[in-house]
Amino acid sequence: MTTLNLHRVLPLKRSLVEVFRYLRDFDNIEQWDPGVFSAEREATSSTQELESTHGDSVSRSGLSKPSFALQLNVMGRSVPMRYTLDICEPPSEQGQARLVLTGIGDGFTAVDTLALSATSANECTLDYRADITTADVPSLLMPVLNWWGSRLSDAAMNGLKGALENDGPSQPGALARLAERLVLPGMINYTRRGYRKMPSRGLSRYLDGRRVGISGVTSGLGLACAQQLARLGADLVLIGRGAERLAQAAESIRPWASHAIDIQCIEAELSNIASTRALSQQLLALERPLDVWINNAGALFDSQALTSDGLERTMAVNFVAPALLTQALAPMLAARGGRIIQVVSGGLYTQGIRLDDMAFANEPFNGPQAYARAKRALLDVSQYWATQHRGLGLHTMHPGWAATPGVASALPDFNQRMGKWLRNARQGSDTAVWLASHPVFAQGQHSGEFWFDRARRPGALLPNTASSETDVQALISWYEEQISV
């Protein structure tokens, strides 16, 4: 057998407690290690189990060891590996903490030891050791193996430092901006390739004690978003259709929380104006007010239909409902220095608003076009309302192309052709969670911006898709007429 011993020491400008908490959730590794395509906590492993795993107490108490399924990036090839968390020693009074994980792959094993030491209240040092055992390697190849291991270690440590310290807004390079302006070349970054190219993918800004509401949480992006917010310590208000589905969502979210969090579920039908208005009143009447509201719920339909209010249903669900909730919650959230996150779609780049035909009455109905127009309308009013509320962070983002049940149902051909390139729901929800949690957005900073992959983006790219100030005022007048019914 051949053993490769790797060792790195990394100073970090984050507190020992925060770094330990981030590393303990080992499936976060896909956020910082380029040698990992994906990482998922196995179903039996909750974050509370991670919290209770201390030294060898797991074996004595009979608790199962938390485990993680990884897909490694080995020269572009996906290789499975399973890690277990054997030792988890939380920060001590002496400012020390330690994690030991054992990984098993096909023909190789690894023991990773991550020892942390506080150097000040807001800084610590990571001592990282990896002992990798594999089949015998000829002595002539050992220099190559050592070089390869050294490169992997350096890349992982650089990625971790970026995830924890350099996780603010990014700035695309000149070529990336040109590709985006040309639209089609830029769309390659809507896939998981774009997510992996982000300078930082770290989500480590904790939300303990703060309350986040999110619509559309029973599957897809909304569920992934809620899971990550729970990991960050947020109390949650979950909005969706059907009490049973909401209860199931809540149960699937709880294991992600690192401590006991409060989860409240509220049923609402967002295709109905009265139901949406009632929801807004319930949210305003919460005993503990919201700090963040995320308008995530949306739907793409393949046929035209009117709601009970006489609205084309795509426009009702994807524009009128989130606009009504935004308008109702904005004053309260502005007074608290809170945030509203609008989840739209990159498809809006292909469409302008059609004030003369908001319901597709004068042209054949096209589901993706209707969806894009509704999201364009939401972006337009959000950017206008952002100027009206001092202290409110009103941010709009699009998730790229993500594999979700909604996409599979509404766009089956696209889903089948693009399947292996699509982002998973967690990757698609990344920017929304980042906007909700990062302190750079406190007290209304950067309000009114449009974001994709943590970078500011233009609101329009193609000719005749940008809305003028007159168009936006007319759009708001149309919206106010609809909700006055």
**Catalytic site positions:** 371
Instruction: Indicate the residue type of 192.
Output: R
CA distance 31 to 27: 8
CA distance 264 to 287: 12
* Strand 292-295 to 96-105 pairing: unpaired
In the chain, count of helices (H) and strands (E)? 16, 15
Which residues in 4-33 are b (16+ Cβ under 10 Å) and which e? Answer: bebeeebebebbbbbbbbbbbbbbbbbbbb
Name, in order, each residue with C-beta under 8 angstroms of 386's C-beta and a sequence gap of 6 or more: 392, 394, 447, 448
Return the sign of the alpha-carbon dihedral for residues 435, 436, 441, 447: positive
**Tokens encoding 343:** 């989840």
* Strand 450-452 to 455-456 pairing: antiparallel
SS3 136: coil
**Main-chain dihedrals φ then ψ at residue 426, nearest 5 degrees:** -65, -45
